[in-house]
């Protein structure tokens, strides 16, 4: 087992727990999603050996190339799709992933529902919210979130369990996280995937149930703001 991987996981876990207890009432549990996108299988193995089992990937094709082999070696992996999903990749995504965090439009919701029915899999999904209304980012507008969640459930039949966001860079994330908490309550969902390497303690303190941490575990990678 790679000691550095174990130490990094222990450090992040300790920070999550400290933040969870900092302000009350805290979420009962916070799940660390280790963002392994852009890293090869050999870089992921030490974290699997150290006990990490929840991972986030940005691209269907990349995940398809490296995770089947890893899953043969390590049981109990839960794989989250945290990047934008094209409808023509929905079939592969449903076959490969365990959670889809980036539902952001009706067409995608409909195609995912069809593919889940075809595959006999009912995956938990999160709605991605463009919390900063940034034109370069995917996600449903905050004002449309509650109605979209209801439509995904009632019209498309998806199991929407939470919301996900990526706050704008260069500004304090707290107000955006607070807005997400309000949206989650209004939409009637329990999970909030928010917070990355630079701001996950703030996200946890404000109610995140999932944090997507990549660079703090794996090191620097090209600047891709879809998970960390």
Going residue by residue through the chain (228 aa), what tens digit of pLDDT does each one get? 556 999 999 999 999 999 888 766 667 789 999 999 999 999 999 999 999 999 999 999 999 999 999 999 999 999 999 999 999 999 999 999 999 999 999 999 999 999 999 999 999 999 999 999 999 999 999 999 999 999 999 999 999 999 999 999 999 999 999 999 999 999 999 999 999 999 999 999 999 999 999 999 998 875 555 566
pTM reported for the whole predicted model? 0.93
Would strands 78-81 and 99-103 be described as parallel, antiparallel, or unpaired? Answer: parallel
User: What's the rounded Cα separation, in Å, for the pair 114 and 218?
Assistant: 35
Q: What is the DSSP letter of 144?
A: G
User: What's the rounded Cα separation, in Å, for the pair 58 and 120?
Assistant: 24
Query: What secondary structure does DSSP assign to 156-217, as a single string?
Result: S--EEEEEEE-PPTTS-SHHHHHHHHHHHHHHT--EEE---TTTHHHHHHTT-SEEEE-HHH
Class of residue 183 by CB neighbours under 10 A (exposed 0-12, middle 13-18, buried 19+): buried
pLDDT value of residue 37: 94
In three-state secondary structure terms, 154 is helix
């Amino acid at each position: 087992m790679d000691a550095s991987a174990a130490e990094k996981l222990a450090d992040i876990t300790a920070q999550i727990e400290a933040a969870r207890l900092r302000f009350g009432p805290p979420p009962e549990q916070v799940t660390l999603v280790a963002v392994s996108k852009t890293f090869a299988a050999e870089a992921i193995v030490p974290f699997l050996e150290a006990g990490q089992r929840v991972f986030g990937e940005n691209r269907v094709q990349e995940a398809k190339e490296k995770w089947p082999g890893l899953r043969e070696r390590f049981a109990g992996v839960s794989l989250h799709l945290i990047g934008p999903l094209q409808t023509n990749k929905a079939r592969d995504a449903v076959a490969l992933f365990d959670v889809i965090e980036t539902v952001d439009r009706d067409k995608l919701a409909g195609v995912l529902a069809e593919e889940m029915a075809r595959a006999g899999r009912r995956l938990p999904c999160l709605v991605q919210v463009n919390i900063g209304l940034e034109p370069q980012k995917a996600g449903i507008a905050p004002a449309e979130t509650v109605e979209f969640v209801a439509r995904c459930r009632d019209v498309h039949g998806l199991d929407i369990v939470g919301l996900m966001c990526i706050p704008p860079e260069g500004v304090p994330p707290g107000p955006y996280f607070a807005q997400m908490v309000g949206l989650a309550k209004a939409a009637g969902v329990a999970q909030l995937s928010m917070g990355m390497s630079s701001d996950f303690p703030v996200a946890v303190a404000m109610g995140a149930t999932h944090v997507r941490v990549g660079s703090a575990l794996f090191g620097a990678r090209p600047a891709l703001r879809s998970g960390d």
